[in-house]
Every structure is written in structure tokens, then in C-alpha cells.
């Protein structure tokens, strides 16, 4: 017990940015003596929020094309952030895994390497976009002026204690707009025009069909965000009648089983092997339409410019919907309003017929 308590105390010291030894910190590829001429974005998770936060890269580039952007991301989402070639360095964070192995020597080696990487150079601005204490503690480890939301704007008010400069941004804005507004306030520019992303997914994926196809993202971590299976199956049947194949990706055995139930007996409905994030991005970029629940992959499809229909059942589409990405993306349903098959089918038809591709 005493060893576990000591390990957790040391973990807290590292996360606060306090020294854990007097040893010399090695200099990384980013020189420790470099001037503060870069921006660090701290938005480790979740998938959909990382997608929306990545729109700030285009805003920063428009403000100052020579200003490098580095990013802290949970290790599961590092492949996503690396899809934007303009992001100079992605620093992996493995907080969940580290917490589970607090007594392991490998955990401490990784933690110290993570801290060294964050402190390898000073930053002109550190943008804390996580809105949680865990993100604020990570931002605290880096060198530079930390910008975050004030106590009235942030999701976890305690997190505001760790930032240096606080910005008041309306709480009821879409998360995308909050990120753009905070970055603009921190760096002294005005975020203009619709959001833009710089994703560069692979040109193809092995699971990509030869003809027209749709992607269905029916899975989510919250049961109350699911849409009934019989309605998904009706959508897949409607697409098949229009000559459009359907891919039903999955990320866990229960999700695979659901995909197979939805696809059973439907011509052109395919349950592929488990796909990586870059492969899913490649599939989404080239799909005729993506239909999904309120989950990160649906938001990624909208950010890629693909005609997208997001099915909301338990969350607020005005604060988390895909329509913010542009006219090619549509939200159906909302808090406590489970959309009917007809509502979703009509939205899919409009998306196929009218949404521009970019």
C-alpha cells in the first residue's frame, strides 16, 4: 500500500510539472535553447472533439503561415492528428495506461520522456482546449503562457486554476466555435469564415469497394446515443435499392456482432475487418455518404467534406452536431428526440443529391 501511495504521489508530481529528480534533462530534436516561436495545442481526447479542435490549425496558418503547431494527443488518437501534415510534432499521452501501471518502471520512463518532450522548447502560446483538469495539468508541464477558458466558460471550473490567461467564451457555443475563439483570442487574430481542416488520409484502403458506397457508423460508447437496429437495417436496404453498397465498420466484438446483424442478407452490405483510424479516414473521404450516430467517426467524416448525416438521440446537436462543418453535413434528432427512419432516409437522400464535396 505504501509503495502504491508513493507511486501515485510521484505521478501527481509529474503531472503538475514538478521535478522528480535532479538529473539533467536531455535536449530533444526541438532545441531547448530555441526561441518561443511555436504553439502547443493540448487536446488529448475524445475523437470527435480532437477533430473539431484541429480546425484551429487552419486558422493559425492563415494568421501566421510560419508559426509551427505541436499537439498533445492520447496515444489512440495520435494517428488521427498525424493525418494533418501541417502539425509539426505530435506528443503521445498515455494517461489511462500509465494510471493502470503506476508501479511499473516502464511507466516512469515513459512519463519522464513525455515531460522532457513537452519541455524541450518554450512555446509562444499553449492552448488548453481540453476543458478538464487532466488537460490543464498536461499544459502545466510545458513551458510557455497557458491559455484556457475562464471559470464561467469551462466544463470543469477547477481546471482554470492551472492556466495563466483566461478567456471568457459563451458556454452554449458549439465546441468547434469555442476552440476557434480561444485560439484567436490567445494569438490575437479573428477567426473568419467557415472551418477548414487539412486532413490528408491515405489514398485508398483495402476495404474500399470498387463502386459507389456508404459508410454506416452505428456504434458509440453510450447506449443512449444508439439508434435502433431495425432502422439501421432499413437504411442499408434503402441504399442497396439505390445501387449503393454499405460498409459497416466496428471496433469491438459486440459492435461487430451488431454490424453483422444489420448487414445479414442485404446485397452489397459488407462488414470489413477491423480498420485503423487512417483506413477509416480514407474510406470516409471517398464515400458517397456517411450516416452515423453522435460518435467521433461521424464527425471526422463531416470534417473530411463527405456528405454526412448525424443521428442524434440523447445529445444536443446545436452544441455537438456536424452541421457546423458545412452544408454537406446534416443533423437529425436531438436531446430525447429519436428520429424516425423516414427522417433519416430523407436526410440521406438530400445529402446524396445536394451536398458539395471538397
Asked if residue 176 and residue 239 are part of one domain, the reply reads no
Look up the CATH number of the domain holding residue 147: 3.40.50.2000
Asked if residue 147 and residue 11 are part of one domain, the reply reads yes
Residues 302, 330: Cα–Cα separation, whole Å: 9
Residues 302, 305: Cα–Cα separation, whole Å: 5
Query: Closest Cα partner for 317 from 289, 340, 303, 337?
Result: 337
| Helix, strand, coil percent content, the chain, rounded in steps of 5 | 40, 15, 40
Average pLDDT, the chain: 91
Count of domains for the chain:
2
Residues 78, 170: Cα–Cα separation, whole Å: 29
Q: Would residue 304 count as lying in a domain?
A: yes
Question: Do the Cβ atoms of 245 and 208 come closer than 8 Å?
Answer: no
Q: What is the DSSP letter of 152?
A: T
Q: Would residue 197 count as lying in a domain?
A: no
Q: Are strands 289-293 and 143-149 parallel, antiparallel or unpaired?
A: unpaired
Asked if residue 36 and residue 175 are part of one domain, the reply reads yes
Asked if residue 259 and residue 166 are part of one domain, the reply reads no
Domain ranges, residue 284? 213-354
Q: What is the DSSP letter of 316?
A: -
> Which residues share a beta bridge with 41?
71, 127
Query: Closest Cα partner for 216 from 200, 229, 197?
Result: 229
Asked if residue 129 and residue 273 are part of one domain, the reply reads no
Residues 194, 202: Cα–Cα separation, whole Å: 25
Q: Would residue 47 count as lying in a domain?
A: yes
Q: Would residue 208 count as lying in a domain?
A: no
pLDDT number for residue 219: 97
Asked if residue 277 and residue 181 are part of one domain, the reply reads no
Asked if residue 45 and residue 169 are part of one domain, the reply reads yes
Q: Are strands 245-247 and 269-270 parallel, antiparallel or unpaired?
A: parallel
Q: What is the pLDDT of residues 215-270, one digit of tens each?
A: 999 999 899 999 999 999 999 999 999 999 999 999 999 999 999 999 999 999 99
SS3 for 38-98, per residue?
Answer: CEEEECCCCHHHHHHHCCHHHHHHHHCCCCCEEEEEEHHHHHHHCCCCCEEEEEEECHHHH
Domain boundary, last residue among 151, 170, 187: 187
Q: Would residue 205 count as lying in a domain?
A: no
Residues 96, 141: Cα–Cα separation, whole Å: 18
Number of other residues whose CB lies within 10 A of the CB of residue 215: 23
Instruction: Tell me the percentage of the chain whose pLDDT exceeds 90.
Output: 84
Place of cell 452554449: 172
Query: Closest Cα partner for 196 from 319, 80, 300, 58?
Result: 58
Question: Do the Cβ atoms of 310 and 334 come closer than 8 Å?
Answer: no
Write the CB contacts of 273 (distance below 8 Å, at least 6 apart in sequence). 207
Asked if residue 117 and residue 12 are part of one domain, the reply reads yes
Q: Would residue 341 count as lying in a domain?
A: yes
Judge if the upstream peptide bond of residue 184 is cis by omega within 30 degrees of 0: no
Residue spans of beta strands (DSSP E) within the chain: 39-42, 69-74, 87-93, 122-128, 143-149, 165-167, 213-217, 245-247, 269-270, 289-293, 308-312, 329-333
Q: What is the pLDDT of residues 14-63, one digit of tens each?
A: 454 433 332 322 333 354 555 678 999 999 999 999 999 999 999 999 99
Asked if residue 313 and residue 218 are part of one domain, the reply reads yes
Number of other residues whose CB lies within 10 A of the CB of residue 23: 8
Q: What is the pLDDT of residues 258-303, one digit of tens each?
A: 999 999 999 999 999 999 999 999 999 999 999 999 999 999 999 9
Q: What is the pLDDT of residues 76-128, one digit of tens each?
A: 999 999 999 999 999 999 988 898 888 888 899 999 999 999 999 999 999 99
pLDDT number for residue 115: 95
**Count of helix runs (H) and strand runs (E) in the chain:** 14, 12
Asked if residue 237 and residue 132 are part of one domain, the reply reads no
> Which residues share a beta bridge with 289?
214
Asked if residue 175 and residue 34 are part of one domain, the reply reads yes
Amino acid at each position: 500500500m505504501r509503495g502504491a501511495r508513493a507511486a501515485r504521489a510521484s505521478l501527481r508530481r509529474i503531472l503538475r510539472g514538478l521535478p522528480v529528480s535532479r538529473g539533467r534533462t536531455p535536449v530533444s530534436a526541438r532545441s531547448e535553447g530555441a526561441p518561443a516561436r511555436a504553439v502547443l495545442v493540448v487536446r488529448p481526447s475524445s475523437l470527435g472533439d480532437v477533430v473539431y479542435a484541429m480546425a484551429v490549425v487552419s486558422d493559425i496558418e492563415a494568421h501566421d503561415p510560419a508559426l509551427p503547431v505541436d499537439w498533445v494527443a492520447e496515444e489512440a488518437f495520435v494517428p488521427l492528428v498525424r493525418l494533418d501534415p501541417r502539425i509539426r510534432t505530435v506528443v503521445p499521452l498515455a494517461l489511462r495506461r500509465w494510471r493502470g501501471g503506476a508501479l511499473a518502471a516502464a511507466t516512469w520512463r515513459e512519463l519522464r520522456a513525455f515531460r522532457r518532450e513537452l519541455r524541450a522548447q518554450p512555446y509562444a502560446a499553449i492552448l488548453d482546449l481540453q476543458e478538464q483538469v487532466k488537460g490543464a495539468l498536461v499544459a502545466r508541464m510545458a513551458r510557455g503562457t497557458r491559455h484556457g477558458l475562464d471559470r464561467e466558460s469551462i466544463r470543469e471550473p477547477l481546471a482554470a486554476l492551472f492556466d495563466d490567461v483566461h478567456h471568457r467564451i459563451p458556454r452554449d457555443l458549439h465546441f468547434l466555435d469555442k476552440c476557434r475563439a480561444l485560439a484567436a483570442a490567445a494569438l490575437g487574430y479573428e477567426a473568419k469564415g467557415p472551418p477548414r481542416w487539412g486532413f490528408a488520409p491515405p489514398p485508398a484502403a483495402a476495404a474500399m469497394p470498387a463502386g459507389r458506397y456508404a459508410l454506416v457508423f452505428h456504434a458509440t460508447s453510450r447506449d443512449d446515443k444508439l439508434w435502433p437496429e431495425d432502422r439501421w437495417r432499413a437504411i442499408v436496404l434503402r441504399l442497396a435499392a439505390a445501387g449503393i453498397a454499405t460498409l459497416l465498420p466496428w471496433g469491438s466484438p459486440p459492435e461487430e456482432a451488431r454490424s453483422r446483424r444489420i448487414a445479414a442478407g442485404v446485397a452489397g452490405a459488407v462488414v470489413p475487418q477491423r480498420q485503423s483510424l487512417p483506413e477509416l479516414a480514407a474510406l470516409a473521404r471517398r464515400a458517397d455518404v456517411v450516416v452515423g450516430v453522435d460518435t467521433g467517426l461521424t464527425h471526422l467524416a463531416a470534417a473530411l467534406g463527405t456528405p454526412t448525416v448525424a443521428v442524434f438521440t440523447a445529445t444536443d446537436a446545436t452544441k455537438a452536431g456536424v452541421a457546423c462543418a458545412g452544408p454537406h453535413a446534416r443533423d437529425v434528432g436531438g436531446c430525447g428526440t429519436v428520429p424516425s427512419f423516414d427522417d433519416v432516409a430523407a436526410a440521406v437522400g438530400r445529402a446524396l443529391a445536394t451536398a458539395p464535396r471538397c
